Each structure stands twice: as structure tokens, then as C-alpha cells.
Amino acid sequence: MQQSTSRQLYAYWDRVRNGRLAPRRFEIEPAKIASLLPETFIAECSDLRVYRFRLAGTKICEQFGRELRGSDLMSLWGQKDRDAFASLLRNVFSDAAVGHVLFHAYTEADRQAKFELVLMPLIHGQSINRVLGALTAVDPPFWLGAAPLSRQEIIELKLHWPDGAPSFANPPAIRAEHSIGGAEVVRLARRRFRVYEGGLD
């Protein structure tokens, strides 16, 4: 995680989690992360296929040129990226992993901006069915927010477990390739994942 919003939100989520699998949704206090809210969102998983924005920060909506609340997080991606992103989300919701995505976003005029997306699991009721996220531009260009972003293209996806990799280090859909500096690089579909065993990447 490179962006300040991502790192601060992760640190807050980890403090509230306090060694548990994930914090509860009601434990997240907006007043404690007020400065991060414009680039923060919460999405709800209804059936591991639909992930609706329940809240979306004003800056995120401004950059995409529309109100995202109520829309499907999956709708941000083209068909070629949806399978890989859905697999990442399944790990976040099913295995309490933290997801990290780098992607390019484009306007209709093909202006390009790079973004970092971080996804952290939340417990609501008896299961993980919410995600707390941050969506932040990397070195935002001067025009960002003036022209809506119309399509996105994923560059890289990563997973890590704050307390170390789960016992099932090689789930069926993921095949380990090699290790780099304590982080396991894995491939899922056509995208690359890097799995970190605890701490910030």
C-alpha cells in the first residue's frame, strides 16, 4: 500500500480488529477517520456475485462522475477483468484476506489516471459480508474530477493476511509460482497476485 489514505485506513481497521479475523461493521466510527471519508467506501456482499456500494466517498463519486451508492462494485470492471476481481473479492469475504488492486482508469477521451484500491473485510451479523475500502488516485492528474472516468483496467492484484497466510496456503484456484522477499507471488486467471504474511506490504 503506497497511498496515504490506504495506509491510514488499513492501520485504523487493524487497530479496531485487535487481533480478530475482522472488526464488526458497527465498530467502524466515521468520526475517527473523518479526513479519509472522501476516498472511503463500504460495499455489501449479498451472494458472492453482487457487491453493492452502501456508502461511497464524495471524492470517489466526483472522479467517476456519478453517485456510486447502490451500484455494483463489479460494474467498474470490463469483462476481461471481472473474473480476476471476483476471485480477489471471494478471498476477502470468505478467507478474511485484505485485497489490494492497482488499476488504470480512462475518460471517454482516453485520458488516463492510476488508482490504488484497498479492500478490508468487516463482520456484520454472523459473517463477513461487508468490505471497508479506499480508492485513491496515484499522482492525480490536474484534470481528474473534471471528466468522468468511464472504463477501468486492472494492472495488478494482491492479497495478504494481516496475521499470516491461512492454513490452506494453496487453495484450489490459486497456484503458487515462487517467493519474493517473504511475499508469495501467485497467479489467478491471467492476473498476478502477491500474498503477504502479515504487516503492511
What does the pLDDT look like over 98-150, one tens digit per residue? 999 999 999 999 999 999 999 999 999 889 999 999 999 999 999 999 999 99
Q: Are strands 183-188 and 191-197 parallel, antiparallel or unpaired?
A: antiparallel
Q: How confident is the model at residue 174 (pLDDT cuts 50, 70, 90)?
A: very low
The structure's pTM equals 0.81
pLDDT higher at 64 or 183: 64
Report pLDDT for 187: 37
80 SS3 class: helix
d(CA 188, CA 146): 35
For the domain 4-160, what is the CATH code? 3.30.450.20
* Average pLDDT score over residue span 78-99: 93
Domain ranges of the chain: 4-160
